Amino acid sequence: MRGGGGTAPIATLADVERFEGRTAIVTGASRGIGRAIAARLVAEGARVVITARKEPALAEAAERLGGPDRVRFAPGRADDPEARAAAFGLAEAAFGPVDLLVNNTGINPAYGPALEIEEGAVRKMFEVNVLGAFGWAREAVARGMGERGGAIVNVASIAGVGASPRIAFYGVTKAALISLTQQLAVELAPRIRVNAVAPAVVRTAFARPLYEGREAEVARAYPLGRLGEPEDVAGPVAFLLSDDAAWVTGRTLVIDGGGSLPMPA
């Protein structure tokens, strides 16, 4: 549709339906970044199954995101194979085979230097943040995503790009997730693209311990002068899932308000 004088108007989100006819699963989507990603995909035409551990919050999110015609929910742990199979089964029955997968679930039960974190917490972080994402990807492949073509985006973290003493092993698991992204991108090409995003501090309940009571101080570390919002991550994830990124795979997009840019002394 064109305006007067032959110039094209700027497209709004309502005009964009990049995911019409596509089915997506977004893990960890009852709140925060996962919920924002699910909302963006729904706004662009996708049918979405969201997952998380707590059913009441998940049910509320699904209703607010569009209700059963657009969004279904599947409660369960991200590292539970039966929960993963149930989510895929629900998606297939309600909307059709899964074309898009977002591995957003992540946990960080322990803060502090790496050597001070108990081994049990370390194991749990790896089980959820790395093996969980691996399990979701493997389930997608087993159910034929590669036969149809599809896309996977893993939500990593800026903590996985360099050292992060306050969230040491969370960062280690996210570094492993970035490496897994690269490995799967090679193994699943050319039918499935696999990319990742690495956000810095985003204003969510999950990240609150990193900024609560000192938000202005934390924001000064970013040239754009503010913390991230969940929608700041949702847009790049939607891009990486879409055909607009058809020649992009194995990449990790840093989303940090310019915080990792080299600064003059």
The DSSP annotation for 173-209 comes to HHHHHHHHHHHHHHHHTTTEEEEEEEE--BSSTTTGG
Please say if the pLDDT value at position 138 is more than 70: yes
Break the chain into its structural domains and give their ranges.
17-197+234-254
Rounded CA-CA distance 152/24 in Å is: 10
Is the pLDDT at 128 greater than 80? The verdict is: yes
Q: Which of 135, 105, 99, 131 minimizes the C-alpha distance to 19? A: 99
Among 159, 150, 247, which Cα is nearest to 197's?
A: 159
- pLDDT category at 16 given cuts 50, 70, 90 is confident
Indicate the average pLDDT of the chain: 93
Of 111, 170, 211, 222, the active-site residue reads 170
Q: Is the pLDDT of residue 82 over 80?
A: yes
Of 27 and 114, the one with more pLDDT: 27
pLDDT tens-place string over residues 95-123? 999 999 999 999 999 989 999 999 999 99
Question: Could you read off the pLDDT of 210-239 as tens digits, one per residue?
Answer: 999 999 999 999 999 999 999 999 999 999
pLDDT for 107 equals 95
Tell me how crowded residue 249 is: count the other CB atoms within 10 A of its CB: 21
Determine the average pLDDT of the residues in 14-34. 92
pLDDT in tens, 156-207: 999 999 988 889 999 999 999 999 999 999 999 999 999 999 999 999 999 9
pLDDT band at 13 (very low <50, low <70, confident <90, very high): low
pLDDT of residue 5: 45
**pLDDT band for position 1 (50/70/90)?**
very low
User: What is the pLDDT confidence band of residue 10, given thresholds at 50, 70 and 90?
Assistant: low
Please, which residues have CB within 8 angstroms of residue 49's CB and are 6 or more apart in sequence? 23, 24, 25, 26, 71, 72, 73, 74, 87, 90, 91, 94, 95, 98
- CA 187 and chain centroid, separation: 21
How distant, in Å, are the alpha carbons of 38, 97, 192 from that of 147? 24, 11, 9
pTM of the model: 0.93
What pLDDT is stored for residue 260 in this prediction?
93
170: annotated active-site residue: yes
In CATH terms, the fold of domain 17-197+234-254 is: Rossmann fold (3.40.50)
